[in-house]
Chains A and B, each alone.
Chain A
Amino acid sequence: QKEVEQDPGPLSVPEGAIVSLNCTYSNSAFQYFMWYRQYSRKGPELLMYTYSSGNKEDGRFTAQVDKSSKYISLFIRDSQPSDSATYLCAMRGGSEKLVFGKGTKLTVNP
Chain B
Amino acid sequence: EPEVTQTPSHQVTQMGQEVILRCVPISNHLYFYWYRQILGQKVEFLVSFYNNEISEKSEIFDDQFSVERPDGSNFTLKIRSTKLEDSAMYFCASNPGLVVFETQYFGPGTRLLVL
Give how many B residues have a beta carbon under 8 Å from the other chain's beta carbons.
26
Task: List B73-109 residues whose CB lies under 8 Å from chain A.
Answer: 89, 91, 95, 101, 103-109
Chain B at the A interface: SS class: strand
A43 touches B108 (CB 8 A): yes
Q: A49-B103, A88-B43 are in contact. Are A44 and B91 (CB under 8 A)?
A: yes
Shortest CB distance A1–B (Å) = 15
Contact among B31, B108, B111 with A96 in the assembled complex (CB-CB below 8 Å): B31
Question: Could you mark each residue 81-110 of chain A with 1 if its beta carbon is under 8 Å from any beta carbon of chain B, else 0?
Answer: 000000010100001111111110000000
Q: Does B45 have its Cβ within 8 Å of any Cβ on chain A?
A: yes
CB neighbours (8 Å) of A97 from chain B are 45, 48, 56, 58
A95 touches B111 (CB 8 A): no
Task: List A1-46 residues whose CB lies under 8 Å from chain B.
Answer: 32, 34, 36, 41-46
CB neighbours (8 Å) of A102 from chain B are 41-42
